């Protein structure tokens, strides 16, 4: 029996600047599964159950053996197709969650929240992202306390990289970064529970061993380096390192790096003065720190007076990036040396 849209429905569709393609028109009963462009749309947009089950099976194989079957390709190691599938699942389900005004996930590491638990599809994608970023990474990874620190370090490495072959490589006659920097974003905060700041980094370090237990295949060919300021804000991280990981570290200790577990390594900014206190901004020349923007002075503190001061993000974006080819980064050399030594001294599991 051929089905045709009624005049009222056709009118509404045309009013929205669309036209009905009679060759692709079909009727779906309300009691059956209704699908449009691969999505189930009975009550809300959703993923087909078999699509999700296949993604879960592929992840299970990847985490256990380092490979999975995909469209007849047995033993596939490229995680790109699987990431695309998981990203699609997350986008559809999370978009519907927001559209339906259902409770969203709380801020990462909020232990007091009653809703601080991921549901199945979120756990699966989060575990995949952990595997990709920290377990099966393709080159050394540096996790900074925030995105501005990554900008500083990228610029310093580009300036001094010839002296640190571990941190750079030459491709096509050009010197490029040989390491990666962790990118903070919505997924990292929600699914990996890794946000900027010492508190969240402390939680990441603390739970790292437990997260690794999910992976039977854990190559960990390269280190994951957590870089923190050597200041009072790192006190709880130091206590955690001393108590849980038996790695003695304080404001005054001067090792280039401190092992945490597996491929996770802690590096702190080089010690300055009698107390050792330092933060990454200390390694800029004073003339750079003194640059004014719209009459305001730079302040690296979390709380600033916006009427007189500007913070880290404007400093990184409007001072460091535009002038990175002019800035003297020589004071960053000891920090780059520590990162380089942390990489060269790392030995992956057999």
- Does 90 reside within a domain? yes
- Does 291 reside within a domain? no
- Does 83 reside within a domain? yes
Residue 105 has pLDDT above 80, yes or no: no
CA dihedral (329, 331, 335, 340) positive or negative: positive
**Structural domains counted in the chain:** 2
Are 15 and 90 contained in the same domain?
Answer: yes
- Does 324 reside within a domain? no
Give DSSP secondary structure letters for 184-217: -SHHHHHTS---SSHHHHHHHHHHHHHHHTT-S-
| Rounded mean pLDDT, 44-66 | 85
Are 175 and 82 contained in the same domain?
Answer: no
- Does 123 reside within a domain? no
Residue 17's pLDDT band (cuts 50, 70, 90): confident
pTM over 0.75: yes
Are 165 and 245 contained in the same domain?
Answer: yes
- Does 112 reside within a domain? no
Are 195 and 340 contained in the same domain?
Answer: yes
Are 21 and 155 contained in the same domain?
Answer: no
Are 169 and 233 contained in the same domain?
Answer: yes
Residue 5 has pLDDT above 70, yes or no: yes
- Does 269 reside within a domain? yes
CA pair distance 307, 36, nearest whole angstrom: 53
Compute CA 20 distance to the chain's CA centroid, rounded to the nearest angstrom. Answer: 43
Q: Which of 40-49, 171-180, 193-202, 215-224 has the lowest mean pLDDT?
A: 40-49
| Rounded mean pLDDT, 309-322 | 96
Are 327 and 288 in contact by the 8 Å Cβ rule? The answer is yes
What is the β-pairing status of strands 309-310 and 297-298? parallel
Are 197 and 80 contained in the same domain?
Answer: no
Strand partners, 141: 180, 224
Average pLDDT, the chain: 86
CA pair distance 228, 314, nearest whole angstrom: 21
* Residue 346 phi, psi (nearest 5): -75, 135
| Rounded mean pLDDT, 37-56 | 71
Are 85 and 155 contained in the same domain?
Answer: no
- Does 164 reside within a domain? yes
Nearest Cα neighbor of 41 from 53, 49, 33, 50 is: 33
Are 195 and 276 contained in the same domain?
Answer: yes
Q: Which domain range does residue 201 map to?
A: 140-284+329-344
pLDDT tens-place string over residues 267-280: 999 999 999 999 99
| Exposed / middle / buried, residue 289 (Cβ in 10 Å: 0-12, 13-18, 19+) | middle
Are 179 and 87 contained in the same domain?
Answer: no
């Amino acid at each position: 029996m051929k089905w045709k849209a009624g005049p009222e429905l056709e009118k509404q569709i045309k009013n929205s600047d669309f036209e009905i393609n009679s060759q692709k028109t079909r009727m779906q009963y309300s009691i059956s599964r209704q699908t449009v462009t691969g999505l189930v749309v009975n009550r809300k947009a959703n993923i087909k159950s078999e699509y999700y089950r296949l993604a879960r099976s592929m992840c299970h194989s990847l985490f256990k053996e380092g490979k999975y079957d995909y469209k007849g390709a047995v033993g596939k190691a490229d995680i790109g197709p699987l990431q695309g599938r998981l990203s699609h699942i997350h986008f559809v389900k999370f978009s519907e969650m927001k559209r339906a005004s259902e409770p969203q996930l709380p801020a990462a590491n909020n232990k007091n929240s009653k809703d601080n638990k991921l549901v199945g599809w979120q756990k699966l994608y989060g575990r995949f992202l952990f595997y990709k970023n920290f377990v099966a990474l393709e080159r050394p990874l540096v996790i900074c306390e925030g995105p501005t620190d990554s900008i500083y370090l990228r610029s310093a490495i580009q300036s001094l990289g010839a002296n640190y072959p571990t941190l750079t490589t030459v491709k096509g006659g050009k010197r490029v970064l040989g390491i990666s920097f962790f990118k903070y974003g919505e997924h990292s905060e929600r699914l990996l529970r890794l946000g900027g700041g010492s508190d969240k980094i402390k939680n990441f370090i603390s739970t790292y061993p437990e997260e690794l237990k999910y992976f039977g295949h854990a190559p960990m060919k390269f280190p994951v380096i957590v870089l923190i300021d050597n200041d009072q804000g790192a006190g709880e991280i130091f206590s955690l390192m001393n108590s849980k990981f038996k790695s003695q570290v304080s404001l005054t200790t001067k090792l280039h790096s401190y092992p945490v577990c597996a491929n996770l390594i802690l590096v702190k900014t080089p010690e300055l003065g009698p107390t050792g206190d330092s933060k990454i901004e200390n390694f800029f020349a004073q003339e750079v720190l003194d640059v004014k923007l719209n009459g305001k002075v730079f302040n690296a503190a979390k709380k600033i007076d916006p009427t007189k001061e500007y913070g880290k993000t404007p400093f990184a974006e409007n001072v460091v990036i535009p002038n990175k080819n002019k800035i003297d980064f020589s004071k960053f050399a000891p920090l780059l040396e520590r990162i380089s030594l942390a990489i060269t001294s790392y030995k992956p599991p057999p």
